[in-house]
Each structure stands twice: as C-alpha cells, then as structure tokens.
C-alpha cells in the first residue's frame, strides 16, 4: 500500500494519515515540502483551527531561522480562511503568535482563544458547520493542491486552476497588505 502520493504535486502527503509526509533523505536533501494540517482537522470541535495554529508555528519558526518556511502557504490576518477563523475567535494574528510562543499544544491555545473570544461549545460547532458550507467551493482545490485527493484529471484541473489562476492575485494582495502593515509598524 502506497503512503506517499507520487505525482507532480509539490506538496506530497501521507495519504493514509492526511498529513504532510516526513522528509525523505536524498543525499541530505529533503524530497518533500511542508504542508499544513488538513482543513478538516479539529481541536475542541473547531475545524480549521489546528491548520491555522500549525501555519502560525511554521511562520514563527521561519522568523527564528530568518527564512521563509511556509512553502507558499499564507498565515494570519490577511489570509482568507485564517481571517475567517480570527474574526470568529474575536482576535488578531498578533495574539495567536503570542500564544503560540508561550504554549506548545493546540488544546491549550484553543482553550485560551475560545475563552478570550467568549465562544461557547455550541457556537464552535455552529461555526464549524458554517465554515464547511461556505468553503465548499474551495476545499476540493485545497485538497487537490495538497495531494489529499486521488491523482487524476479532476485533481490536476483543480490544482492548476487554484495555483495558476486563483492564487497569484491572492499572493500579490497578501504581500501588499503585509508590507503596508510593516511600514505602519516602523512609523510608530
């Protein structure tokens, strides 16, 4: 049984676990690229939050190393799905980064965010249902891009559309908004 999907996808995953594949040694070079957890993963009944927290940890590690480790993935206030999550939590990227620096596990961070945002278990379940419904057009593209779909023409079309038509303007806007925020922070 094959666990590492073999395709032209730049983000190989462990198909059985639905998580990023461990790097495979190739003369000291990694043959896989990092991808965040699946959007389907949950913590305390909340979908997407483990993915956002994982991207936040990766962004912080990249800052510590002085290089971009995000492999093209976006994190924070200006990312579409992260922004939805942050608005639901009634918080900002800066607070999430602070919590991620102080706590190593998703449950602790989630508990603090839910408490600070005054979100009940029922609101969390309701939001998760809403997130799945509102993002139904996008989740197949996310799965195709990240190698979480069976290889085939449909997966190739979804991945191509997502990476070559949809994401380039998103990356441009993200970079512009991030640069504007940095300029505002240096002026203060």
**Is it the case that residue 30 has pLDDT exceeding 70?**
no
80-132 pLDDT, tens digit per residue, is 999 999 999 999 999 999 999 999 999 999 999 999 999 999 999 999 999 99
66 lies in the same domain as 95: yes
Consecutive H or E run containing 89: helix 80-89
Average pLDDT, the chain: 84
For residue 7, the tally of other CB atoms under 10 A from its CB is: 16
Task: Answer yes or no: is 53 within a domain.
Answer: yes
Number of domains in the chain: 3
Task: Answer yes or no: is 46 within a domain.
Answer: yes
Report d(CA 179, CA 44) in Å as an integer: 34
Task: Answer yes or no: is 121 within a domain.
Answer: yes
71-88 pLDDT, tens digit per residue, is 999 999 999 999 999 999
Range of the domain at 83: 38-138
54 lies in the same domain as 128: yes
Task: Answer yes or no: is 54 within a domain.
Answer: yes
Consecutive H or E run containing 102: helix 93-102
Task: Answer yes or no: is 110 within a domain.
Answer: yes
Kindly report whether the global pTM for this prediction surpasses the value 0.85. Answer: no
C-alpha distances (whole Å) from 165 to each of 28, 114, 157, 161, 171 are 34, 35, 11, 5, 11
Dihedral angle sign, alpha carbons of residues 95, 77, 42, 88: positive
- Of 9-18, 48-57, 82-91, 138-147, least confident by mean pLDDT is 9-18
**Is it the case that residue 150 has pLDDT exceeding 70?**
yes
Q: What pLDDT is recorded for position 177?
A: 87
The two tokens of residue 53 are 């927290």
Of 148, 110, 145, give the one whose Cα is nearest residue 127.
110
Task: Answer yes or no: is 146 within a domain.
Answer: no
161 lies in the same domain as 134: no
């Amino acid at each position: 049984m094959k666990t590492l999907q073999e395709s032209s996808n730049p983000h190989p995953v462990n198909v059985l676990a639905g998580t990023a594949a461990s790097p495979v040694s190739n003369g000291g070079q990694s043959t896989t690229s990092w991808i965040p957890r699946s959007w389907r993963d949950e913590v305390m009944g909340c979908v997407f939050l483990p993915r956002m927290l994982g991207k936040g940890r990766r962004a912080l590690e990249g800052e510590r190393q002085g290089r971009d480790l995000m492999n093209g993935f976006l994190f924070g206030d200006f990312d579409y799905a992260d922004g939805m999550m942050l608005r639901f939590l009634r918080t900002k990227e800066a607070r999430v980064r602070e919590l991620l620096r102080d706590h190593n596990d998703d449950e602790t961070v989630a508990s603090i965010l839910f408490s600070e945002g005054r979100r009940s278990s029922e609101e969390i379940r309701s939001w998760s249902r809403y997130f799945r419904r509102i993002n139904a057009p996008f989740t197949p593209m996310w799965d195709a891009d990240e190698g979480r779909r069976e290889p085939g023409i449909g997966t190739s079309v979804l991945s191509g559309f997502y990476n070559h038509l949809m994401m380039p303007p998103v990356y441009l806007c993200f970079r512009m908004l991030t640069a504007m925020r940095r300029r505002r922070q240096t002026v203060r």
